[in-house]
């Protein structure tokens, strides 16, 4: 009787121990290309449209001390888009209430002040219970340290759709380290 109980306990313990592993395998089978956002113009912005490309996904805000980073992001987009980089701005009002009230205002602000022409999403929650599913997934990939803590946090997504790196708000998009990470991601072969 003791042997059967002990064996049953081992089996249950083994199943419980493998559950996180199985969940992790399922989580890894998801990629950034499985998500979509509403675009700033109101259409759908399917990340699957960029399958095999490198994505730089940045949560933005129009009235933030880091808003000047829009210029460097536009420069990256201009310099690397023909090589496979897609910069995507995700306006968010989650940090300090620093985003404008409507998508039309955000779009006009970005075009007039920074000549932005890279894709942008609608105003989106990126943290908390209402966070967009991409941000929940990305946060699970990078852990607590890599989750956005403020505006202009950047996720670099490789050609395989997985998070290749992340950069905090203070990381300048035109720094040598940042450009090196983008070039390294672009050098990777697209998965077949």
- pLDDT score, position 2: 42
- pLDDT score, position 29: 75
Whether residue 75 is contained in a domain is answered as: yes
Whether residue 16 is contained in a domain is answered as: no
Give the mean model confidence (pLDDT) for residues 143-151: 94
Whether residue 132 is contained in a domain is answered as: yes
Give the mean model confidence (pLDDT) for residues 5-27: 40
Query: Residue 184 — very low, low, confident or very high, per pLDDT cuts 50/70/90?
Result: very high
Least confident of 9-13, 91-95, 164-168, 186-190: 9-13
* 58, pLDDT greater than 50: yes
Q: Find where tokens 């932005």 sit.
A: 116
Query: Residue 190 — very low, low, confident or very high, per pLDDT cuts 50/70/90?
Result: low
Whether residue 74 is contained in a domain is answered as: yes
Whether residue 181 is contained in a domain is answered as: yes
Q: Of 79, 41, 73, 47, which is closest to residue 60 (Cα–Cα)? A: 73
User: CA–CA separation, 19 vs 185, rounded Å?
Assistant: 32
Q: What is the CATH number of the domain that holds 101?
A: 3.40.30.10
* 8, pLDDT greater than 80: no
Q: 87 — phi, psi (to 5°)?
A: -90, 130
Whether residue 125 is contained in a domain is answered as: yes
Alpha-carbon separation of residue 180 from 29, 42, 171 (angstroms): 27, 34, 13
User: CA–CA separation, 116 vs 122, rounded Å?
Assistant: 15
Whether residue 13 is contained in a domain is answered as: no
Whether residue 31 is contained in a domain is answered as: no
Least confident of 22-26, 85-89, 155-159: 22-26
Which range marks the domain in which residue 119 is found?
37-187
- pLDDT score, position 189: 77
* 78, pLDDT greater than 50: yes
Active site residues: 64
* 16, pLDDT greater than 70: no
How many domains does the structure of the chain reveal? 1
Query: Percent of the chain beyond pLDDT 90?
Result: 83
């Amino acid at each position: 009787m003791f042997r059967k109980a002990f064996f049953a306990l081992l089996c249950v313990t083994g199943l419980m121990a493998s559950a996180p592993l199985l969940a992790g395998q399922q989580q890894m089978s998801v990629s950034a290309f499985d998500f979509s956002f509403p675009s700033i113009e109101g259409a759908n912005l399917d990340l699957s449209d960029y399958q095999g490309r490198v994505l730089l996904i940045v949560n933005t805000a129009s009235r933030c001390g880091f808003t000047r980073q829009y210029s460097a992001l536009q420069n990256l987009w201009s310099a690397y888009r023909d090589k496979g980089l897609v910069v995507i701005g995700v306006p968010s009002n989650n940090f300090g209430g620093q985003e404008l009230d409507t998508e039309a205002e955000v779009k006009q602000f970005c075009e007039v002040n920074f000549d932005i022409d890279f894709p942008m999403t609608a105003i989106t929650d990126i943290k908390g219970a209402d966070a967009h599913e991409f941000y929940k997934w990305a946060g699970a990939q990078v852990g607590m340290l890599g989750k956005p803590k403020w505006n202009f946090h950047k996720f670099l997504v490789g050609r395989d759709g997985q998070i290749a790196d992340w950069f905090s708000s203070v990381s300048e998009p035109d720094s040598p380290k940042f450009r090196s990470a983008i070039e390294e991601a672009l050098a990777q072969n697209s998965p077949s």
